[in-house]
Amino acid sequence: QRAVALGEKRFEDSQNLAELALKHLQEAQQAFEEALQENPDEIYILDELARVHFTIAYLLPPKAAEANWKASIQAFEKAIYSRNKQ
Nearest to 23 by CA among 49, 61, 59, 48: 59
Q: What pLDDT is stored for residue 36 in this prediction?
A: 95
How far is Cα 66 from Cα 7, in angstroms, rounded to an integer? 30
Name residues whose C-beta falls within 8 Å of residue 60's C-beta, 6 or more positions apart in sequence: 22, 68
pLDDT at 86: 64
- Per-residue pLDDT of 17-71, as tens digits, reads 889 999 999 999 999 999 999 999 899 999 999 999 999 999 999 999 999 999 9
Rounded-to-integer distance, Cα 64 and Cα 62, Å: 6
Q: What is the pTM of this model?
A: 0.81
